[in-house]
């Protein structure tokens, strides 16, 4: 059985550390993790946490309107290629649309570009490098017309 629900920031840390920070000397903790408006979602398969993502209010100069930023999205290796990431994104988009969010955006690793494109996201701007992590692009999806 698959269930997507709100989780706490610390519940997301193990997957963030194992998937997003593997062999990288950066913390799995993020500024804003405990802010009231931050949303952490987890996808559970048969009670086991398989995918996490964090969504927080954060403005980018690229966009107008009420913005949320996706950060720390990762799927445990044992659960990859099952559509869990797409399911979490779809759930978050519905929740954030109800909150009145205009644009959801993220700094996407180059290796994840096709995942986001298949979910209706677009690139804005040029490629840039995140220290110790590698090449990224800003990607976004309009949740409503801003």
Query: The whole model's pTM is what?
Result: 0.90
| Residue length of the chain | 146
| Tens of pLDDT, residues 36-91 | 999 999 999 999 999 999 999 999 999 999 999 999 898 888 878 888 999 999 99
Is residue 2 within 8 A of residue 44, CB to CB? The reply is yes
Look-up: residue for tokens 């950060």?
71
Predicted local confidence at residue 20, as pLDDT:
65
* Beta carbons of 105 and 67 less than 8 angstroms apart: yes
> Residue holding tokens 């929740």?
95
d(CA 52, CA 42): 5
pLDDT at 146: 44
* Sign of the torsion angle spanned by Cα atoms 40, 85, 11, 44: positive
Give pLDDT, residue 19.
75
Domains of the chain: 2-142 (3.40.630.30)
């Amino acid at each position: 059985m698959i269930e997507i629900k709100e989780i706490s920031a610390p519940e997301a840390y193990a997957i963030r550390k194992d998937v997003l920070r593997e062999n990288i000397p950066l913390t799995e903790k993020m500024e804003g993790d405990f802010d009231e408006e931050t949303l952490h979602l987890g996808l559970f398969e048969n009670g086991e946490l398989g995918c996490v993502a964090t969504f927080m209010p954060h403005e980018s100069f690229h966009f107008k309107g009420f913005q949320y930023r996706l950060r720390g999205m990762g799927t445990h290796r044992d659960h990859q290629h099952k559509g869990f990431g797409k399911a979490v994104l779809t759930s978050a988009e519905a929740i954030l649309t109800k909150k009145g969010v205009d644009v959801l955006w993220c700094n996407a690793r180059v290796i994840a570009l096709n995942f986001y494109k298949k979910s209706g996201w677009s690139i804005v701007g040029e490629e840039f490098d995140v220290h110790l992590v590698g090449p990224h692009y800003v990607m976004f999806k309009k949740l409503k017309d801003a």
